[in-house]
Amino acid sequence: MDKEYKELQVSSRLLLGPGPSNVHPRVLKAMATPLIGHLDPEFLQIMNETMELLRWLFRTENQLTIPMSGTGSLGMETCFVNTLEEGDSALICVNGVFGQRMVDNAERCGARVDTVTAPWGEPIDTAEVEKALAQKDYKLLAVVHAETSTGVLQPLEELSRMAKDRGTLFLVDTVTSLGGCPLEVDKTGIDICYSGTQKCLSIPPSLAPVTFSEKAAAVIQKRQAKVQSWYQDLSMIASYWGKERVYHHTAPISSIFALREGLRVIYEEGLEARIQRHKTNAAALWAGVEALGLELLVEEKYRAPSLTTVRIPEGIDDPAVRKALLDRHNIEVGGGLGVLKGKVWRVGLMGENSHANSVFLLLSALGSILNGMGFACSTGEALQEAAKIY
């Protein structure tokens, strides 16, 4: 083979899709830190601080709060494979791709799964969950907080209460909400929770923070069968992150350097300020997009500030718009997934990218592209409406 491989060269993208988001320069710098060993005393200190910061971020005192060594979907699987055993019953709320993915995960554990569904773009009706819970004893109730495929933000309090009333474990996917939407693991009574790093945390994808309540940890401890995944077996991984420091697998050291630094950036901003920032910029985006004459998929009350789904107007060429955004403006937005493919764009304002400049740039670029395609809209008006929010 004599092919020449050139130096890595990538364009400077503004990542306004469903993740990854752009990474803070301090986090990129941490990624480039020369390695130390995964059992080095200095690394153990870094692990401890990372766990502390994750607990702070999740708003929990759960001992078992660690980053799993994979992307967000590994976090999902970790939560299911450790909790469910062959024959267990689980009730899963499905109103998008990630609810469906939870079902697939639970079924691969040999669990019997029932679902409560809602149309994509609408929240789960808690009354239906209550009805389902009354009919059967479930080990687990699972729901997605911010559905990345639809932009729906699901209220959690009632669902948590219902689960608690019946002694059912409450599992929540916070991949697209953690660090950008209000989330209170302990106060809300969430037993099991997973997230990713590349959304509202603005850290490169490669780790999946998870947290388990004492109740959930006890369920794991009392399992009959071994966890079907060796790599994700928390009974062993907890010994590496715990006081014993027993070797399990080599931790992704650079990614943990980056996670610690990214959490430090968030810690310095403060969680309340950060969440308010996400709310404000989302409101500006919504105002601007509607002023362009576009419709939003989700009713305002249930809109996730981190991810907005915009209906693609009749007759507008979806891939052509996204290609123009990328090629002309270096802006990435996401296409629709599943039944929403070709019907919506997914616009993320996450972490570093939740900023007035993202909003203004996207509105200007989108307005100009749509106008060029014969869709009449006033970019000036859109920018004006957005600006009013600030």
Min separation Cβ 179 and a second copy, Å? 16
From the list 176, 202, 211, 210, the residue with the least C-alpha distance to 259 is 202
**Which residues inside 144-203 make contact with a second copy, applying CB under 8 A?**
196, 198
State the burial class of residue 1 (Cβ atoms within 10 Å of its Cβ: 0-12, 13-18, 19+).
exposed
Give the whole-angstrom CA distance, residue 128 versus residue 125.
6
Region of 28-36, 164-172, 357-365, 366-374 interacting with a second copy (CB under 8 A): 28-36
Region of 134-142, 245-253, 277-285, 292-300 interacting with a second copy (CB under 8 A): 245-253
Contact 228, 107 (CB under 8 A): no
- DSSP 8-state code for residue 21: P
- 355 scored as a contact of a second copy (CB under 8 A): no
**Which residues inside 95-114 make contact with a second copy, applying CB under 8 A?**
101, 104-105, 107-109
Indicate the pairing of strand 331-332 with strand 14-15.
parallel
- 245 scored as a contact of a second copy (CB under 8 A): no
**Residues sharing a CB contact under 8 Å with residue 279, sequence separation 6 or more, in sequence order:** 305
Structure-token match 């929990």, residue found: 60
Min separation Cβ 346 and a second copy, Å? 12
From the list 134, 75, 140, 136, the residue with the least C-alpha distance to 106 is 140
Would you list the DSSP string of 26-56?
HHHHHHTSPP--TT-HHHHHHHHHHHHHHHH
- 249 scored as a contact of a second copy (CB under 8 A): yes
Site string for a second copy, 35-54 (x = CB under 8 A): xxxx-xxxx--x--x--xx-
Site string for a second copy, 48-87 (x = CB under 8 A): -x--xx--x------------xxxxxx-xx---x------
Structure token pair of residue 254:
């650079």
Pick the closer one to a second copy by CB: 361 or 387: 361
**Which residues inside 265-294 make contact with a second copy, applying CB under 8 A?**
267
- 255 scored as a contact of a second copy (CB under 8 A): yes
- 228 scored as a contact of a second copy (CB under 8 A): yes
Min separation Cβ 225 and a second copy, Å? 9
Pick the closer one to a second copy by CB: 270 or 380: 270
Among 85, 147, 173, 332, binds a second copy (CB under 8 A): 332
Min separation Cβ 84 and a second copy, Å? 12
* Helix (H/G/I), strand (E/B), else coil: 207: coil
